[in-house]
Amino acid sequence: MSSNSAARRLPILGCIVVSLMLAIAPIPAWADAYRPDWVALTLIYWSMLLPRNYSIGWAWVTGLILDVAQGTLFGQHALALSLVVYITVKFHLQIRVFPVLQMTATVFAILALYQFILFWINGVAGINSPAVTYWGPVIAGTLVWPVLSMIYANVRYRSSAGG
Amino acid sequence: MAAAKSERSHRAPHSQALGLRFLLLAALSILLLVVDHRNNHLDTVRKAIGATVYPLRVLVDAPVSTWRWINESSVSRNELELENSRLNAERLLTYSRLQRYSALEAENSRLRAMLDATERVQNRVRIAEIMSVSANPYRHVLVINKGSRDGVYDGQAMIDDLGVIGQVIETELLSAQGILISDPDHALPVEVNRNGLRTIAVGMGEYDRLDLPFLPNNADIREGDLLVTSGLGGAFPAGYPVAVVASVLRVPQEPFAEVSAKPAAALNQVRELMLIWQEDVAAIAGDEEARQHEDDLPNDEADEIAEKEPDDNRDDKNNTAAEESEIGPGGQADE
């Protein structure tokens, strides 16, 4: 039973690791302002579908790793991701059955909140962050959500069909 | 299916615990944030997590380095010959300059000895490769492939062949993070090479611009002036080129001139950079800081950089000495 669940966790762990890699991958400076919040999107998807397995604890640990990887204040992404996943899990029954457009709109709102938390912590800590760059990741993240959720649905289908 | 059923049967206690868990973790995050922001007690935790991030960095870097390897190993013989002859020519040129340099150096140390000044020591340098750059557009931070195992220390200066790039802010075992001079949080003490005018160059969050906000309107500075490190903060050794003044705007009713400069190093194009180990840095910095406090410079930024004085570089020299030989005399930086 436990090995079965471990085998089921592996693809999802893979998704999180890949999203962390995408978050630190070097891309041109102009594209950097429009880098989607891959980790947030990934955690939203899996915590929405499997809220019992992937909840706040995961989000917090992943956030700490992201903090170290990006060199931000320790706990910044951890706090923001915990909030994102908290909201997602809280409303996962509603969000799960939304049609694509409505779900994307919800993701947009959650991403905006996520960016706001990061932005706000930067502001409190006195770290300069130009306001223009606030919306780039939110919009880019919303645009990639439908595709990303399709990819993840595929991952989920394959892993559950195989295991 | 079974999972879904158990999920539903346990839903009520689960959702209650959810809010509690969120509050707990949020409080913990805020605690971490405050502790991390106020002081650096969390360095060991960061280093431990950094060790788990290292494989990710290597994976992310793998396609780029593979591509570079393919590129390098597939260049034609013709290109190699061309490059070889170009490098040979450059080497001759460098050697001829170096001859003059060593003569100058000898003269300099003689004159210094005459003046009874402290004889400055050559810096040790070592090449590091950039593994990744910050994903956060607000910060200009990069990761290099040398860490505390190689003797890298916090506050260490990073340069490339054209000028100063930045300094190390965080060391992990196998990698280190460096902040660029263009980061909005970074400021470094510089002086105008032409007349020795001291000031502070502040990053603006743009790769091709630094600002000099503390120069009065009547300061003797003009476009094209070369700014070099003054060595006053203690973090950077003196005399490395930092930037070239790009524009000077004097508004008569304002107390300060608006001066911006273009960094000498190509901050967003480097792949390799050099780390500098300063010798006797404490002696030099202590000596100069005493002088600095008599100046009319705004000292906040300078002090902030001076706080990061490296003190653990002494035991690292043995490790680094071996690899320095491959850099050769060309890599030895001047003072």
Looking at the complex, report in whole angstroms how far the Cα of residue B197 sits from the nearest Cα belonging to chain A.
Answer: 28
pLDDT at B2 over 70: no
Q: A73-82, B117-126, B172-181, B251-260 — which is least confidently predicted?
A: B117-126
Of A70, A75, A78, the CB nearest to B136: A70
Instruction: Single out the residue of A62, A153, A50 nearest to residue A114, CA to CA.
Output: A62
Tell me which chain B residue has its CA closest to the CA of residue A58.
Answer: B25
pLDDT of residue B122: 59
Rounded to two decimals, the pTM is 0.56
Looking at the complex, report in whole angstroms how far the Cα of residue B156 sits from the nearest Cα belonging to chain A.
Answer: 17
Tokens representing B265 are: 């190093």
Looking at the complex, report in whole angstroms how far the Cα of residue A7 sits from the nearest Cα belonging to chain B.
Answer: 15
Q: Has residue B235 been placed in a domain?
A: yes
Answer for the pair B138, A129: CB distance below 8 angstroms, yes or no: yes
Q: What is the CATH number of the domain that holds B195?
A: 2.40.10.350
Which amino acid type is present at position B242? V
- pLDDT per residue over A77-105, tens digit each? 999 999 999 999 999 888 888 998 999 99
Query: What is the 3 state secondary structure string of chain B?
Result: CHHHHHHHHCHHHHHHHHHHHHHHHHHHHHHHHHHHHHCCCCHHHHHHHHHHHHHHHHHHHHHHHHHHHHHHHCCCHHHHHHHHHHHHHHHHHHHHHHHHHHHHHHHHHHHHHHHCCCCCCCEEEEEEEEEEECCCCCCCEEEECCCHHHCCCCCCEEECCCCEEEEEEEECCCCEEEEECCCCCCEEEEEECCCCCEEEEEECCCCCCEEECCCECCCCCCCCCEEEECCCCCCCCCCCEEEEEEEEECCCCCCECEEEEEECCCCCCCCEEEEEECCCHHHHHHHHHHHHCCCCCCHHHHHHHHCCCCCCCHHHHHHHHHHHHHHCHHHCECC
Looking at the complex, report in whole angstroms how far the Cα of residue B137 sits from the nearest Cα belonging to chain A.
Answer: 6
SS3 A33: coil
A72 with B139: Cβ contact below 8 A: yes
- Which residues in A lie closer than 8 A to residue B133 (C-beta atoms)? 26
B60 with A26: Cβ contact below 8 A: yes
B268 with A65: Cβ contact below 8 A: no
Domain count, chain B: 1
What does the DSSP 8-state code read for residue A55? -
Q: Within a 10 A sphere around the Cβ of B284, how many other Cβ atoms?
A: 20
Write the CB contacts of B239 (distance below 8 Å, at least 6 apart in sequence). B228, B229, B231, B334, B335
Helix (H) or strand (E) holding A95: helix A92-97
A82 with B134: Cβ contact below 8 A: no
B52 with A65: Cβ contact below 8 A: yes
Looking at the complex, report in whole angstroms how far the Cα of residue A138 sits from the nearest Cα belonging to chain B.
Answer: 14
Count contacts between A and B (CB, < 8 Å). Answer: 130
Q: Has residue B14 been placed in a domain?
A: no
Domain count, chain A: 1
pLDDT of residue B189: 92
Looking at the complex, report in whole angstroms how far the Cα of residue B171 sits from the nearest Cα belonging to chain A.
Answer: 11
Rounded Cα gap, residues B246 and B201, in angstroms: 13
Tell me which chain B residue has its CA closest to the CA of residue A125.
Answer: B37
- pLDDT per residue over B265-291, tens digit each? 888 877 788 888 876 544 444 444 444
Domain that holds residue A81: 2-162
Which amino acid type is present at position B61? D
Tell me which chain A residue has its CA closest to the CA of residue B141.
Answer: A71
Q: What is the CATH number of the domain that holds A135?
A: 1.10.1760
- pLDDT per residue over B154-195, tens digit each? 889 888 888 889 999 888 888 898 999 998 889 999 999 888
Domain that holds residue B200: 187-263
Residues pairing with B192 in the sheet: B227
pLDDT at B149 over 80: yes
B33 with A75: Cβ contact below 8 A: yes
ipTM of the complex, rounded to two decimals:
0.79
- Which residues in A lie closer than 8 A to residue B28 (C-beta atoms)? 60, 75
Answer for the pair B204, B211: CB distance below 8 angstroms, yes or no: yes
Query: What is the 3 state secondary structure string of A120-139?
Result: HHHHHHCCCCCHHHHHHHHH
B33 with A74: Cβ contact below 8 A: yes
Rounded Cα gap, residues B29 and A46, in angstroms: 22
B15 with A90: Cβ contact below 8 A: yes
pLDDT at B325 over 60: no
B184 with A73: Cβ contact below 8 A: no
- Confidence label for A139 from pLDDT (cuts 50, 70 and 90): very high
Tokens representing B250 are: 């004097």
B10 with A63: Cβ contact below 8 A: no
